[in-house]
Structure 1
Amino acid sequence: MSFFQSLFGTAEKKYQDIPADEFLKLSENTKDVVLLDVRTPAEFAGGKLKGAINIDIFARDFQSKIAKLDKDKTYLVYCRSGNRSGQACNTMAGLGFTKLYNLAGGVISM
């Protein structure tokens, strides 16, 4: 254990960062999968992955909208660079979601 870990503890990440090729395979081959775009509505309107739903992480009601989603489904979460979607995955994990995948590098990595 490092000095930093002994001071602050270790937060276990409750989602997986996956590369674009694996993200696309999961989207095509997984039953009950939801593509979740957490970018702004303007970004979403500018281009999205086929079948994606948009819930803006910056919206005031983000957490309440996320809380209404089916926790039994698999969520493939993405944004432009992978940062906001990682934050969204953390929020979702805190709400009890267990099948969470973040597009590493975001849509700019595709």
Structure 2
Amino acid sequence: MTTAQLNMIDAPNSVPVRPAQLRPDVPHAYIGGDIDVVTAAQLLATMPELKVLDVRTPVEHGEGRIRGDLNLDFYADEFADQLAGLDREAYYLIYCRCGGRSGMTISFMRDLGFRHLIHMPAGIEGWVAAGLPIQSDR
């Protein structure tokens, strides 16, 4: 991939990533895009600094989640402030139940200047359907 192509990988409306900032071991085609649950699991297994953000309600989160995720309730009054407080340089995998709230969250985060966003639109429903492990409060 050429330097020019690498510069175009970032999400629309985000600050461009310079090639020197890109990690050589991350499949950058995923940054700013949608991925399936199996690919998400593979990324989580190989990229320990990837932060997982679950934007479902606390009740939904307690019923089953990806181990080690951060739960920010999309419907909470403080949601925008919580997003604004996150590290804009970190890599995030964002999910919800089935893609709606996480898709809107991606848009909000882009507007806030986040650059390394990966969306899992199948959500926890797709994760469970694929037989991938979850953690729950039950």
Further displaced range: 71-80 or 100-109: 100-109
Corresponding residue to 1:97 among 114, 117, 122: 114
1:51 has 2:68 as partner: yes
Unaligned 5+ residue runs, structure 1? Answer: 1-11
Q: How many positions carry a matched residue from both structures?
A: 99
Q: Which residue of 2 aligns with 1:22?
A: 39
Q: Which residue of 1 aligns with 2:7?
A: none
Q: CA deviation at 1:51?
A: 0.3
TM-score, structure 2 length as denominator? 0.67
Stretches (4+) displaced over 4 A: none
1:34 has 2:48 as partner: no
Q: Distance in 2 between matches of 1:32 and 1:93?
A: 20
Q: Distance in 1 between matches of 2:120 and 2:13?
A: 15
Q: Which residue type is aligned with residue 126 of structure 2?
A: S
Q: Which residue of 2 aligns with 1:3?
A: none
Q: Which residue type is aligned with residue 79 of structure 1?
A: C
Q: Distance in 2 between matches of 1:65 and 1:21?
A: 28
Q: Which residue of 2 aligns with 1:4?
A: none
Identity %: 34
Unaligned 5+ residue runs, structure 2? Answer: 1-11, 15-31, 128-138
1:76 has 2:93 as partner: yes
Aligned CA-pair RMSD:
1.4
Further displaced range: 30-39 or 90-99: 30-39
